[in-house]
Every structure is written in structure tokens, then in C-alpha cells.
Amino acid sequence: MKPLKYILVAMALMLSAVSCENADDDRIPTAAVHIDFANAAMWSVYGVSAYPDHKEFIKGENKPKGFTYVANSATGYGGVMLVCTPTNVVLAYDMSCPVERSSTIRIEYDSKDLVLRCPHCGSTYDISTGSPLSGSALTNRYLLQPYAVYFNAMGGVLVTR
């Protein structure tokens, strides 16, 4: 029985070493992020509340239409994608593909496969983790750049770096 125990311990150590390989979620140039949904009413119009809701925020292109950006608003390097995961957790990612590293080559929400996809390189990403699922992003272990999402007592939400 002891040899089996040592084999299991050795396998666990090997698996943990492999899973600790560095994944890169910092390929996108640093850019300010500040999207403030001041209250529940604003969030109910422009936020995401249930899977598979998603919204794109690009200040320079006035996306989404009607959203009021203020002086300190900022939407990252390539824009911000808000998503609601299958467990109804709200997450935010920079829309720039980490493979392409361009502010104008942006991930898109693939509603058929329920993934985030780069139309240029074809890489796909898991909406719940930002982890690569296929393409050059998977080969190179490039993750989407995540942003923080904070809910406040007034029902508002702040998305920031």
C-alpha cells in the first residue's frame, strides 16, 4: 500500500507543478479603467444581470449608446467587456486580444459557442475565467486582462483596474 501512496503523492506534485506554469494576463498595455454605474437604475439599463448578458464599453466610440461618460470615465486599452457568467457572477475584461495587442483588434462575444473570440487570430476565451480555450492564446497561455467589479450599497457598480 505504501508504494501506491508515494505514487499518488508524486502524481499530485507533478500536477501542481504543471498547473503552476505562468499564464500571462498582463500583455495589454496599462490604461485607465473607470466605469461608474452610480445607482441601481443606471445598472439596470447598462449593466449585465444574468447569463449570458454582455455589454461593450468603448468611451471613444460612445458605446453603449446613451451611456453617460463623465470626465474621469475610462474604458481601458481596447474597451471593456462586461459579462455575466453561468453562475451569474459579473466580470470585466479588456476587449483587446492579448495575442494581437492592438487597441483596435477586439474580442467579441460569440453567442453561439458562449465564448469570447478574437475575429483576427481566432483565439477563444472562457467567459468565466478569461482563460484561453483555443488558438494562439492557448498555445502561448495568454489570458484576457481582467478588471475589478465592485458593487456598492446603493445598487451601483464600479469597474476599475
Instruction: Work out how many domains the chain is built from and give that number.
Output: 1
Q: In this structure, is residue 17 part of a structural domain? A: no
- Residues 102-122 have pLDDT tens digits of 999 999 999 999 999 999 999
Q: In this structure, is residue 14 part of a structural domain? A: no
Q: In this structure, is residue 13 part of a structural domain? A: no
Containing structural domain, residue 114: 24-160
DSSP string computed for 87-101: T--EEEEESB-TTT-
Q: In this structure, is residue 60 part of a structural domain? A: yes
Is residue 7 pLDDT above 70, yes or no?
no
Residues 6+ apart with CB under 8 A from 158: 34, 35, 36, 37, 149, 150, 152
pTM of the model: 0.85
Q: Give the C-alpha separation, 144 to 96, whole Å.
A: 8
Q: In this structure, is residue 1 part of a structural domain? A: no
143: which DSSP letter?
P
**C-alpha dihedral sign at 63, 64, 66, 72:** negative
3 — pLDDT class (breaks 50, 70, 90) = very low
Lowest mean pLDDT segment, chosen from 16-20, 23-27, 98-102, 111-115:
16-20
The residue type of 146 is: P
2 — pLDDT class (breaks 50, 70, 90) = very low
Q: In this structure, is residue 42 part of a structural domain? A: yes
Count of H-run helices and E-run strands, the chain:
3, 11
- Domain containing residue 42: CATH number: 2.102.10.10
The x, y and z cell numbers of residue 10, run together, are 508524486
- Residues 57-92 have pLDDT tens digits of 999 999 999 999 999 999 999 999 999 999 999 999
Q: Give the C-alpha separation, 138 to 124, whole Å.
A: 8
Residues 6+ apart with CB under 8 A from 10: none
